[in-house]
Amino acid sequence: MEEEPSNLPVSLWGRVSAFEARAREAYKRKPISHWILLVLSSAAMLVAFPASSLLSRVYYANGGTSKWIISWVAVAGWPLTALILFPTYLVCKTSPTPLTLKLTFSYIVLGLLSAADNLMYAYAYAYLPASTASLLASSSLVFSALFGYLLVKNKLNAAIVNAVVVITAAMTIIALDSDSDRYGNVTDKQYIWGFIWDILGSALHGLIFALSELVFVKLVGRRSFHVVLEQQVMVSLFAFVFTTIGVIVNNDFQRMKYEARSFEGGKSSYYLVLIWSTISFQLGVLGSVAVLFLSSTVLAGVLNAIRVPLTSIAAVILLKDPMSGLKILSLVVTFWGFGCYIYGSSSSSKDSS
C-alpha cells in the first residue's frame, strides 16, 4: 500500500538554503559595481544620519542655542548632491528634466515644507536627548504610510496597519517616561514642546515623502537615478533659500561669532561641528536616494529600522544619554513596528507585481 505524501512544514535549514539560493541568483544578475555601490550607500545611511543627529545634540549641549543655524546646516550641503548629479547626465547620456511651471512650483512648496521640517527637528534636538528624539522621529514612518494611502493611493494591509499601531504605542511609552530622560537645564514646558515639535516634524516629513512620490507619479512620470537627484537638488536649494532668509532675519549669522567664542572646546570645535553636520546630513540623503534606486523601498525601510537603535545606542555611549527601562521597551517596540511595516510593504509589492 502506497504512502500518501505528507505536507510537513519546511525545516529551518531548508528555508535558509532557499534564501541562500535566491541571494546567489540575485547576486549573479547584477555586476559587482552594483553591489559595491549598494554597500557604500547603505553604510552612508547607517553612519551619516546617526552622526548628523548626534552632532545636532552636541551643538546644543556645548553652548549652541540657535534653531535656525541647525536648520540651515541641514540644507547647506546641497551643492554636494549637485556635484554628483551633473556627471550622471554624461554617464547616463540623458538631459535634464524640463522645468515646467507646475514642477517648479512643486519644488518650491517641497522646499518650504522641508525648511519648516528641519526647523521643527532643530527645536526637538534642542530640548530632547538624541536617543529620545530619534525614537520619536521614527513615527515619520506612520505618517508616510497614512499620507501615502491618502494622497498616492498606496496600499495598506494588516501588517502596515499593525506597524502604525505598534509605533504609536512606542511613542506613548516615551511620553509616560518623560521624567527619566529630561536634562536638568530643560524645563517641563521646553521638554513638552520638544516632544510636540518632534512629532509635528515627523508628520511633516511623512507628508513630504508622500508629496515627493506624487510629483514622480503625476508630473515627472518616471523615476530614475538622475531624476531623483534632480528633485533632491531642487528641493534642497529652495529649502536653503528659505532657511537662509530665516537666518538673516533672525541675525543668526552675526550670532555665530558669539556662539563660537563661548562654545565648549573653542571656535575650531564649533565650526567643525557645523561643517560635519552639513556633510553627514547630505551623505545620508545621498545614501538613501542611492539605496532606493539600486534596491527597493523595503531595503531602505530595513536600514531606517536599524538606524533608530544605532542612533539611540550611540547617544547613550557617546553623549551619556539616560536610558531607562521604559525607553528600552519603546526601542524594542519601535523595532518590532518597523519589522511589521517592512513585511507589509514587501507583501504589497509582491501582490502588485
Answer whether residue 119 shows pLDDT above 90. Answer: yes
CB 117 within 8 A of CB 201: yes
Query: What pLDDT is stored for residue 169 in this prediction?
Result: 81
How far apart (Å, rounded) are the C-alpha atoms in residues 163 and 344?
Answer: 9
The answer, as to whether pTM is greater than 0.75, is yes
How far apart (Å, rounded) are the C-alpha atoms in residues 155 and 148?
Answer: 8
pLDDT digits (tens, 9 = 90+) for 86-95: 888 887 777 8
Q: Point out the least confidently predicted range of 127-136, 204-213, 329-338.
A: 329-338
* Mean pLDDT, the chain, integer: 81
Domain segments of the chain as ranges: 62-347
Nearest residue to 334 via CA among 110, 167, 177, 96? 167
Query: What pLDDT is stored for residue 3 in this prediction?
Result: 47
pLDDT band for 16, please (50, 70, 90 cuts). Answer: low
pLDDT digits (tens, 9 = 90+) for 90-109: 877 778 888 899 999 999 99
| Phi, psi dihedral angles at 95 (to 5 degrees) | -115, 155
pLDDT digits (tens, 9 = 90+) for 188-203: 889 889 989 999 998 9
How far apart (Å, rounded) are the C-alpha atoms in residues 287 and 301?
Answer: 13
How far apart (Å, rounded) are the C-alpha atoms in residues 343 and 351?
Answer: 12
pLDDT digits (tens, 9 = 90+) for 284-302: 888 887 777 776 666 666 6
Query: What pLDDT is stored for residue 29 in this prediction?
Result: 67
CB 108 within 8 A of CB 241: no
- Residue 50 has a CB neighbour count (10 Å cut-off) of 25
Q: Which residues contact 296 (CB under 8 A, 6 or more apart)?
A: 349
**Helices and strands, counts by H and E, the chain:** 14, 0
pLDDT digits (tens, 9 = 90+) for 19-42: 556 656 655 666 777 778 888 888
Nearest residue to 50 via CA among 286, 252, 304? 304
pLDDT digits (tens, 9 = 90+) for 124-170: 999 988 888 888 888 887 787 788 888 877 777 777 777 778 877 87
Query: What pLDDT is stored for residue 312 in this prediction?
Result: 82
Query: What pLDDT is stored for residue 214 in this prediction?
Result: 85
Q: Name the more confident of 64 and 227.
A: 64
Query: What pLDDT is stored for residue 25 in this prediction?
Result: 63
Answer whether residue 172 shows pLDDT above 60. Answer: yes
Query: What pLDDT is stored for residue 8 in this prediction?
Result: 42
Percent pLDDT > 70 in the chain is 82
